[in-house]
């Protein structure tokens, strides 16, 4: 795992930046559930985009990888949708 981080520091730095900004934005938008959901969707989309582009650049993109990242992003969105439904 750490070898991958050393080989691709810009990818992991940008991924951490997107996730960090997503968490900070989510926390700062605590007054508006719709805005929070939009932030979750945007963060998930950027996560999926960055991950797929990383594999495209390194020429190891497969349908399985794309589906995996799309499902992980969708799962994150679904979890927050269900959490928000239980709060309302």
Q: What is the pLDDT of residues 14-32, one digit of tens each?
A: 999 999 999 999 999 999 9
CA proximity to 50, closest of 29, 22, 82: 22
Kindly list the domain boundaries of the chain, sorted by start residue. Answer: 2-87
**Res 5: pLDDT:** 65
The answer to whether 50 touches 72, Cβ cutoff 8 Å, is no
pLDDT higher than 80, residue 55: yes
pLDDT confidence of 88, banded at 50, 70, 90?
low
Report the mean per-residue pLDDT for the chain. Answer: 90
pLDDT of 3 > 90? The answer is no
């Amino acid at each position: 795992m750490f070898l991958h981080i050393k080989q691709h520091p810009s990818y992991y730095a940008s991924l951490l930046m997107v996730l960090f900004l997503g968490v900070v934005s989510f926390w700062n938008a605590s007054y508006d559930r719709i805005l929070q959901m939009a932030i979750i969707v945007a963060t998930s989309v950027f996560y999926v985009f960055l991950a797929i582009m990383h594999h495209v650049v390194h020429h190891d993109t497969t349908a399985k990888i794309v589906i995996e990242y799309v499902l992980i992003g969708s799962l994150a969105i679904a979890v927050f949708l269900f959490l928000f439904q239980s709060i309302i």
